[in-house]
């Protein structure tokens, strides 16, 4: 662990020196590139911590205390502004990345592995311990991603939070090592056990990695994908009065040439030219403004992809695409997110206050949880109810957050939970 931390730290300092020396961003070429990567890794990030969910049944066993504490912290100890999955959901929502389900199976492989480990912990406990050991170490991509997302005006908090909680001094990285030692106290350190731990460690390398998602992003391909996913509705929605090279829009979108041929035709006609100010693009004018013919057709992320594609190399400044209702002004370079962060929204502040005061928000699911807990015949039955609400599918909901807080007090005690 210490060797890995030193190696990562050295590589990150080298990166920072290159930036000080005038080097540009090395991960994200433009804003849509960064958002595209967030989209690609969403299936993994939305399963964050799931590999430890099966450990909840071992609560109270000191041998597995480090793993239980780690899982609770993945859930933010029930605080909405610390729950990892909720933070990532909010990040996607803030930038209109709402189609992350429409991706290749490769994007879902790592998340599926994490869910499977959580569901099958009793049969694969050594693999869970090994996976946790590898996955909780500090990777270089986490540090650089946080740095460059901030530069692009995209909230890096999800990533910076992992830098702090996974630290090797007292965080998840150190706890992962301690969890291995604690497990050894229950075994004879056999070769079979170590091989299973090793295989669990290696499971973290499967599926689409963050580095692979960064490398494989192609703005041209993403531009065509964004347009292409609208063709099913689009090929039936246009009137016949507008013809491009003798064919109606409906005919273009329904032809074998598809979107690629349509884009080339628009380019030849001068409607869609790359490397220009979007304000001079007739295609962009169809998207922008409340009176635009295609107002509302594309979401925020999709508009950013189109905006960056039209601007071409100029998109390297990271400018944010204007919303459809803002004045269509010249692109302006983005400001680092740390200069934009403001107070919590009223809803977030209210929810956070409820958490701090220990009073659950007025929510039907929270009320239902309270009723079920009161009706439970004994403490063990209550713990079963809480564990169900703390699974990967529910822990980020209001009821799940409430269950996490109650579970933490029950298992760790009032003093520890308060701390």
> Under a CB-based contact definition with an 8 Å cutoff, are residues 65 and 182 in contact?
yes
Q: What distance in Å separates the CA atoms of residue 123 and residue 137, rounded to the nearest whole number? A: 24
The per-residue pLDDT for 143 is 95
At the top level of CATH, the class of 23-217 is mainly alpha
Pull the structure tokens for residue 345: 């929204």
Write down the pLDDT at residue 270.
86
Domain segments of the chain: what residues? 23-217, 220-339, 346-418
Structure tokens at 391: 């699974």
Secondary structure of the chain in HEC code, one letter for each residue: CHHHHHHHHHHHHHHHHHHHCCCCCCCCCCHHHHHHHHHHCHHHHCCCCHHHHHHHHHCCCHHHHHHHHHHHHHCHHHCCCCCHHHHHHHHHHHCCCCCCCCCCCHHHHHHHHHHHHHHCCCCCHHHHHHHHHHHCCCCHHHHHHHHHHHHCCCCCHHHHHHHHHCCCCCCHHHHHHHHHHHHHCCCCCCHHHHHHHHHHHHHCCCCCCHHHHHHHCCHHHHHHHHHHCCHHHHHHHCCCCCEECCEEHHHHHCCCCHHHHHHHHHHHHCCCCCCCCHHHCHHHHHHCCCCCCCCCCCCHHHHHHHHHHHHHHHHHHCCCCCCCCCCCCCCCCCCCHHHCCCCCCHHHHHHHHHHHHCCCCCCHHHHHHHHHHHHCCCHHHHHHHHHHHCCCCCCCCHHHHHHHHHHHHHHHCHHHHHC
- Of 190, 165, 20, residue with least CA distance to 83: 165
The two tokens of residue 256 are 């074998």
pLDDT at position 57: 93
pLDDT of residue 201: 97
Tokens of 29: 């070429």
pTM of the model: 0.88
CB-side neighbour CA atoms (13 Å) of 41: 25
**Per-residue model confidence (pLDDT) at position 362:** 67
pLDDT score recorded for residue 140? 95
Distance CA 415, CA 118 (A): 28
Q: How far apart are CA 99 and CA 89, in angstroms?
A: 12
Residue 288 has what pLDDT? 77
pLDDT tens for the chain, residues 1 to 419:
889 989 999 999 999 999 999 999 999 999 999 999 999 999 999 999 999 999 999 988 888 999 999 999 999 999 999 999 999 999 999 999 999 999 999 999 999 999 999 999 999 999 999 999 999 998 999 999 999 999 999 999 999 998 887 676 768 889 999 999 888 877 666 788 889 999 999 999 999 999 999 999 999 999 999 988 876 555 555 555 566 776 777 676 666 567 888 888 888 888 888 999 998 888 888 887 665 556 667 889 999 999 999 999 999 999 999 876 666 666 666 667 665 554 334 434 444 444 444 444 568 999 999 999 999 999 999 999 999 999 999 999 999 999 999 999 998 875 454 44
């Amino acid at each position: 662990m210490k060797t890995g931390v030193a190696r990562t730290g050295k590589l990150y300092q080298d990166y920072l020196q290159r930036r000080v020396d005038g080097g540009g961003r090395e991960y994200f070429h433009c804003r849509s590139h960064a958002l595209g990567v967030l989209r690609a890794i969403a299936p993994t990030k939305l399963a964050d911590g799931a590999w430890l969910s099966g450990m909840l049944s071992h609560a109270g066993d000191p041998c597995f205390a480090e793993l239980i504490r780690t899982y609770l912290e993945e859930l933010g100890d029930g605080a909405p502004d610390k729950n990892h999955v909720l933070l990532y959901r909010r990040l996607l929502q803030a930038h209109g990345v709402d189609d992350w389900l429409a991706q290749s199976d490769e994007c879902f492989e790592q998340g599926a592995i994490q869910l499977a480990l959580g569901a099958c912990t009793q049969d694969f406990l050594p693999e869970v311990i090994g996976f946790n050991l590898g996955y909780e170490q500090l990777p270089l991509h986490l540090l650089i991603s946080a740095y460059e997302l901030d530069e692009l005006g995209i909230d890096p908090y999800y990533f910076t939070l992992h830098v702090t909680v996974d630290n090797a001094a007292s965080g998840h990285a150190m706890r992962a090592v301690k969890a291995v030692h604690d497990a050894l106290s229950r075994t004879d350190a056999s070769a079979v056990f170590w091989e299973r731990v090793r295989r669990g460690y290696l499971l973290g390398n499967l599926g689409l990695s963050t580095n692979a998602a960064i490398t494989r992003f192609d703005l041209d391909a993403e531009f065509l994908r964004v347009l292409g996913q609208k063709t099913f509705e689009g090929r039936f929605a246009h009137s016949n009065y507008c013809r491009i090279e003798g064919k109606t829009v409906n005919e273009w979108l329904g032809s074998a040439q598809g979107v690629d041929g349509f884009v080339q035709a628009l380019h030849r006609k001068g409607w869609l030219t790359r490397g220009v100010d979007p304000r001079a693009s007739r295609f962009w004018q169809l998207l922008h403004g409340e009176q635009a013919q295609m107002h509302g057709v594309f979401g925020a992320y999709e508009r950013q992809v189109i905006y960056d594609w039209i601007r071409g190399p100029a998109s390297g400044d990271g400018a944010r695409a204007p919303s459809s209702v803002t004045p269509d002004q010249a692109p302006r370079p983005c400001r680092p997110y740390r200069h934009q962060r403001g107070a919590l929204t009223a809803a977030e502040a209210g929810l956070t206050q409820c958490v701090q005061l220990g009073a659950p928000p007025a929510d039907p699911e929270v009320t239902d949880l309270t009723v079920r807990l009161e009706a439970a015949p004994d403490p063990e039955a209550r713990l079963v109810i809480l564990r169900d609400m703390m699974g990967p599918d529910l822990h980020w909901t209001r009821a799940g957050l409430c269950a996490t807080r109650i579970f933490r007090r029950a298992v760790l005690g009032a003093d520890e939970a308060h701390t």
